[in-house]
Amino acid sequence: MKTLTGKVALITGGNSGIGLAAARRFAAEGAQVIITGRRRKAIDEAVARIGTGALGIQGDVASIEHHEAVAAHIHATFGALDIYMANAGINTINHSAQVSPEEYDAQFSVNARGVFFGVQKMAPIMRDGGSIIVTGSIAAEKVLDGHAVYAGSKAAIGAFARSWAIELKSRGIRVNVLSPGPVDTQILAKLGIPPEGRDAFEQAVAEEIPLGRLGRPGELADAALFLASDASSFVNGVNLRVDGGMALL
Ligand SMILES: NC(=O)c1ccc[n+]([C@@H]2O[C@H](COP(=O)([O-])OP(=O)(O)OC[C@H]3O[C@@H](n4cnc5c(N)ncnc54)[C@H](OP(=O)(O)O)[C@@H]3O)[C@@H](O)[C@H]2O)c1
């Protein structure tokens, strides 16, 4: 039997990067996968790549109504949820002196508020013994240039996750943080690095990582599968860094 046979898994931001890699891995392991994201076309393409009856729901994690609608849909269609990977996130790099209120609010509404209310709305439909995985970042514990707001938003969800691990203990729901280091996904292009500067950027980042390279989405998917499955049945409240050792330097 596959690792996630019979499990229902929801991944926010599952139409790209780490979320898509996790969705593909979970589906390959037998899970019924549901992904969300804002871009319809990217959702449809991702659903086709995931295969095995994956479902895509369009919406914005900053909206509480979106989470309520997703929870109602999953409850009506699949009965319950076993795995919730709150993964959607955005990042803008800017020195604190230049950060606008809009930029601050955008990152906190997706990275922190979106995760908080997502878990608040999904927890009631989760089966006892389920797994919640929150995608954090090593930026929450290692100072990275221009990342103050992003780091704050990711630190917030680390604090949420530790509280939830206690609040949900009577139901046996485990809550863990998966903290990537730099991973080769679209988020890097979204940082505004021009294509001609991409190699130099990658080289500079790789030098900050003991393993000497960026991570691959599939490597984060492997760690997410561990946290989602019974392989981590006694792992609760941890912050699992998957960063090639970057936090050590
Ligand atoms: N890649 C890295 O180096 C790295 C490092 C540390 C942490 N992380 C974290 O890993 C997670 C995944 O990032 P990634 O690297 O895979 O980047 P990505 O390829 O840019 O994926 C981000 C995902 O989030 C979704 N998303 C963004 N805003 C959303 C919103 N308001 N509502 C719903 N969905 C939204 C995007 O879909 P739509 O655009 O369609 O909405 C997309 O699916 C994020 O939380 C990120 O902070 C990444």
CA of 12 to the centre of ligand 1 (A): 9
Is residue 124 scored above 90 in pLDDT? yes
Digit-coded pLDDT (tens) for 29-38: 999 999 999 9
Q: How far is the CA of 111 from the centre of ligand 1 (A)?
A: 9
Q: Where are the beta strands (DSSP E) in 5-75?
A: 8-12, 32-37, 55-58
Q: Which of 168-177, 185-194, 236-245 is least confident?
A: 185-194
Give the model's confidence band at 28: pLDDT under 50 very low, under 70 low, under 90 confident, else very high: very high
CA-wise closest residue to 144 among 110, 179, 113, 108 = 179
Mean pLDDT of 82-102: 98
pLDDT, position 110? 98
- 3 domain residue, yes or no: no
Reported as a pLDDT band with limits 50, 70 and 90, residue 187 is confident
Three-state DSSP class for 13? coil
Examine the pLDDT at 197 and tell me if it is beyond 90.
Answer: no
Residue 220 belongs to a domain: yes
Average pLDDT of span 140-150: 96
pLDDT above 90 for 193:
no
Please check whether residue 249 lies inside any domain of the structure: no
Indicate the burial class of 239 (C-beta count within 10 angstroms; 0-12, 13-18, 19 or more): middle
Q: What is the pTM of this model?
A: 0.98
Is the residue at 2 inside a domain? no
**Pocket of ligand 1, candidates 11, 15, 18, 177: which has the most ligand atoms within 8 Å of its Cβ, to mutate?**
18
Mean pLDDT of the chain: 97
- Ligand 1 atom 17 nearest Cα: 187
Of the candidates 157, 149, 193, the one whose C-alpha atom is nearest the C-alpha of residue 177 is 157
Q: Give a yes or no: residue 49 inside a domain.
A: yes
Range of weakest confidence among 2-6, 52-56, 184-188, 193-197: 193-197
Task: Measure 39 CA to ligand 1 centroid, in angstroms.
Answer: 12
Is 150 a residue whose pLDDT tops 90? yes
Protein residues with CB under 6 Å of any ligand 1 atom: 12-13, 15-19, 36-39, 42, 60-62, 87-91, 110, 135, 137, 180, 182-183, 185-187, 190
234, with CB counted inside 10 A (0-12, 13-18, 19+), is: exposed
Q: Nearest residue CA, atom 1 of ligand 1?
A: 183
Positive or negative CA dihedral for 93, 147, 10, 33?
positive
| Residue whose CB lies within 8 A of the most ligand 1 atoms, among 185, 190, 205, for a mutation test | 185
Q: Domain for residue 184, yes or no?
A: yes
**Distance from Cα 1 to the centre of ligand 1, integer Å:** 31
| Minimum CA distance residue for ligand 1 atom 41 | 38
Residue 17 is assigned to a structural domain of this protein: yes
Per-residue pLDDT reduced to its tens digit, 214-223: 999 999 999 9
Percent of the chain at pLDDT above 70? Answer: 100
CA–centroid distance, 87 to ligand 1, in Å, is 7
What percentage of the chain carries pLDDT values higher than 90?
93
The domain of 171 spans: 8-244
Task: Identify whether 214 is part of a domain.
Answer: yes
Q: What is the mean pLDDT of residues 7-23?
A: 98
Provide the CATH number for the domain around residue 45: 3.40.50.720
Given a cut of 90, whether residue 188 has pLDDT beyond it is: no
Instruction: Provide the domain count of the chain.
Output: 1
Catalytic residue positions, numbered:
150
